[in-house]
Amino acid sequence: MVKPVRLAILGATGAVGSEMLKILAERKFPLSGLRLLADANDAGQTIRYEGRDHVVEEARPDSFRDIDITLVAVGNPVSLLFSPEAVKRGSVVIDNSSAYRLDPGVPLVIPEVNPEDIGWHKGIIANPNCSTIIALVALKPLHDFAVIQRMVVSTYQAVSGAGRLGTAELETQARDYLDGKVVRPGVFRYQIAYNVIPHIDEFQENAYTKEEMKMLHESRKILHAPELLVSATCVRVPVFRSHSESIIIETKRKLGPGKARELLGKAPGLRVVDDPASFAYPMPLDSSDQDLIFAGRIREDISAGNSLALWVCGDQVRKGAATNAVQIAELLLEGGMVGRMKAP
């Protein structure tokens, strides 16, 4: 029987932190204690969880005293400040920021893809970028069978990927546009309503954005494939929730659409929605507010040999962030890996 643990959420009042609470309750995660942490502005708020009110506390280094697992749902600067403090006090940290993803001493984990990597953690386990998670849950069974050598990925990312303010901006802009009012961008550089923006995160020297380069570096690390070639284009689209991705893979071994459907149909965390005759294919509306990755439009890439095209959708707030973190915590419990970091 799994022993209940004491858990903290750093960033409990944000979009991902709130979703983590929802997922913990849905999955009946065994808790003996819960501590909700945020910055000073949100401290004092009351959040109800499982019939009990919890007061949000201001995060301080000693907030992690007697905490077994810490879920981090904040940005890099705050994670870099507090994650080491949590580890110092004996907590295992599951970090949703990008602060530690490419650190060679920190596992980068998707439970359906590389759960074995959890075993070598030194106190911090990183949650991958949402687009990487959505892609690799679908690609891992194909990679195991045929060995993916090259990926070309175009993402169509929902505004909620920018948090609650991104969702609110799309709502406001859509109303203003239809009412004939001036549409003013704020969260996004340009109008997002009735538009797409081929730019997410900062541009790098090679003209790719940081978001696009995450797909390369994180995929290589998670799949243990340092020679994997990846070219990504990340686009913000006027969709409220659930990211979509068009993916082309080139494989070492021939992989036909039929075999791909068979492999995906047996894989964990996936639902195949692929019947062109009845117009069945993955869409953000259907894949939102649940944890499966939907895969469809599976077809041979007629422009190259040993090449396959597919389309995937997944809820980036849930499986792309909150659920993946909770699943990692579940694996820690199942493997008896909680408590071994406890300070003397």
Q: What positions carry a catalytic annotation?
A: 130, 243
Query: What secondary structure letter does DSSP report for 259?
Result: H
Task: Supply 49's token pair.
Answer: 């969880």
If phi over 0 gives left and psi between -120 and 50 gives alpha, with beta otherwise, what is residue 90?
A: left
How is residue 160 written in tokens? 């909620």
Give the residue from 29, 33, 57, 32 showing the smallest Cα distance to 45.
57
Contact predicate 56/92, CB 8 Å: no
Alpha-carbon distance of 121 to 101, in angstroms, equals 12
Measure the CA–CA gap between 260 and 337, rounded to whole angstroms: 35
Residues 6+ apart with CB under 8 A from 302: none
Look-up of token digits 């808790």: 31
Q: Tell me the backbone φ, ψ of residue 232, rounded to 5 degrees.
A: -125, 145
Q: How far apart are CA 22 and CA 25, in angstroms?
A: 5
Residue carrying the six token digits 């003209």: 207
**Could you give the CA distance from residue 304 to residue 298 in angstroms, rounded to a whole number?**
15
Nearest to 16 by CA among 129, 131, 167, 163: 163
Query: In the chain, which residue ranges form alpha helices assigned H by DSSP?
Result: 15-26, 76-88, 130-146, 164-178, 210-223, 257-266, 284-287, 323-334
